[in-house]
Structure 1
């Protein structure tokens, strides 16, 4: 065998070995891709994403779609990672940016789910505040073995305790601090717009003098109806803006879309401030795939959005819920919304 043939043979063997290793050896990266989309005005498996109790939902024709990012399991091969880097619809990112090393995948999913549930609360508060409903002390849940079990419910607005008004959580704490544990007191509440009174036997407070009702509360706008949001298998806070808009379209006085397909993303807080998210370019691909006419972009994501435009997809810069409403008004009027 000549030296040339020997070198070629070794080279072929090495190429085969490295090719096999590249196809099977994992690297610490994951692939992000455009994820599923959900029309907040529509249904999933026959159940509305946003249901309303205590009043009729508005009839709607358009779409207000929240977009998501899909993530592969950890352990891309080298070949898959390289392929992803050259694919405009795939984002290859370090594994630790999606799956923190101090958490299991299950713990990460649970944390993301909790972030989504928190965004639901913020979206509801922002939407009801936009509609002008007053801020009250609202029950968000009951503690285990709560003395209020069967008497108060999630969504009830606590108006008074033992005859004293409770307009905010600070006043509620003051009132309960002055009531000995074990006392039976009347609790005035509003449920779906109807006033009621419950007779609750309090328990001694654990971290302060006085009593406890055994309820978790928050201050938020209280409406004469209840809103429930159901989207399974979605995590993170980035759906907040589109959920708030969905609530407004279903219970407000304005048809926000005028029949158009609108998609978007962005976190939201109770005051209506819209925050940035991850994967904006992938979410724009998902919006384009469903034929959206307008995509609502958080202001702080504008640079990335402009860098990867989608044909036929108009983008609008939004820093607040009011900005998003203005963009939708422009769309209905045939004007071009403020872009990035």
Structure 2
């Protein structure tokens, strides 16, 4: 056998061996890639993504696309070395250490459940932000998220209960409930007025000491009572990063005229009830997903602008979004050709 043939044979065996090792050796990384997009003023399976009942709505056009990041890997389904290597080569994909997505003390199921809860909360906050933008009043309520096992509220207060009073005094903010409980001494009784299943109930609990302060073991979250029904359906999408696009979709449906002017708009960003837009992760993958879906405009949280500018795909215009109101004005300026359109800058 010639030296050339021997070299080729040995090289072939090495490549084969490396391929086998790469295909069977798992590595603690997660691959992030462009995920699906959904038009918040469109439909999924012939059902509207945003359905508004009890209030007049108006026709829309174009698209207001939420964007997502798909992930591969995790504690229960680790990727192999070859998959990680392919991700490192592909500029549209990110390969990150597993612990950046899944904390060591939390299971993959717990992370996915948390993402689902965050999505639900973001939909409520998005509705509140949209109604604030349109000057439509609504009520703030206090909802029980959970109770602490073994604490006084365990078994007496239920998830989903709405707290309306403490010792007969009406409350509308979680801070008011916390302050009322902390004003007691361990062992003191506190009576909570709650609504459950449409009925009002009084539940009396004795406080216990925890960390030097009296508690009853209720985990609360702010909720809302809107004057009409807003249902949002996005299937398996999780996390809070679609808040801005939900708010814009609601605003578009509730106002005359067409916010996009028929343009293909995508974007991302968390949203607060006051309309403030917050940063998100996976901006590079989300921009690729947006461009692949045909978007030419991308609403970008202000704190993500610097990162986004380094990876923006050709044909995608970045528009800086600091607030819902600002994003709405930017779209109106894009459609009319008049007014300022805030751009991301370095």
Matches within 5 A, 1:45-124: 45-74=45-74, 75-124=78-127
**Residue aligning to 1:227:** 230
Contact 2:143 2:223 in 1 (8 A): no
- Contact 1:169–1:219 under 8 Å retained in 2: no
Q: CA deviation at 1:147?
A: 10
Q: Are 2:293 and 1:290 equivalent residues in the alignment?
A: yes
Q: Work out whether residues 38 and 65 of structure 2, in 8 Å CA contact, stay in contact via their aligned partners in 1.
A: yes
- 1:321 corresponding residue in structure 2: 324
SS in 1 for 2:308: helix
In the alignment, structure 1 segments of 5+ residues that lack a partner are 188-197, 209-213
Q: Distance in 1 between matches of 2:221 and 2:13?
A: 68
What pairs up with 1:1-340 in 2 under 5 angstroms?
Answer: 12-74=12-74, 75-134=78-137, 136-138=139-141, 140=143, 200-205=200-205, 207=207, 218=222, 223-253=226-256, 255-334=258-337, 337-340=341-344
C-alpha separation between the residues in 2 aligned to 1:12 and 1:63? 51
- Taking structure 1 as reference, are residues 199 and 66 closer, same or farther at Cα in structure 2, changes over 3 Å only? closer
> In 2 relative to 1, CA 127–14 (structure 1 residues): closer, same or farther, beyond 3 Å?
same
Size of the aligned set, in residue pairs, is 317
Q: Which deviates more from structure 2 when the two are superposed, residues 238-247 or residues 98-107?
A: 98-107
Cα 1:316–1:14 shift into 2, 3 Å: same
- Deviation, 1:243, is 0.8
Q: Secondary structure at the match of 1:202?
A: strand
CA contact (8 A) 2:167 2:190 kept: no
Question: TM-score when scaled to structure 2?
Answer: 0.75
Distance 1:235 1:7, change over 3 A: same
Gaps of 5+ in 2: 147-153, 184-188, 209-217
Return the TM-score normalized by structure 1. 0.76
- Following TM superposition, by how much is the alpha carbon of 1:274 offset from its aligned partner in structure 2, in angstroms? 1.0
Q: Distance in 1 between matches of 2:18 and 2:157?
A: 67
Q: Deviations over 1:29-86 (max 9, x none)?
A: 2211111111111222232222212123222112111000011134332222222222
C-alpha change, 1:275 and 1:308, in structure 2 (3 Å) is same
- 1:190 aligned partner: none
* 306-315 or 198-207, which deviates more: 198-207
Give the ranges of 4+ consecutive aligned residues of structure 1 lying more than 4 Å apart after TM superposition. Answer: 1-12, 139-148, 160-175, 180-183, 205-208
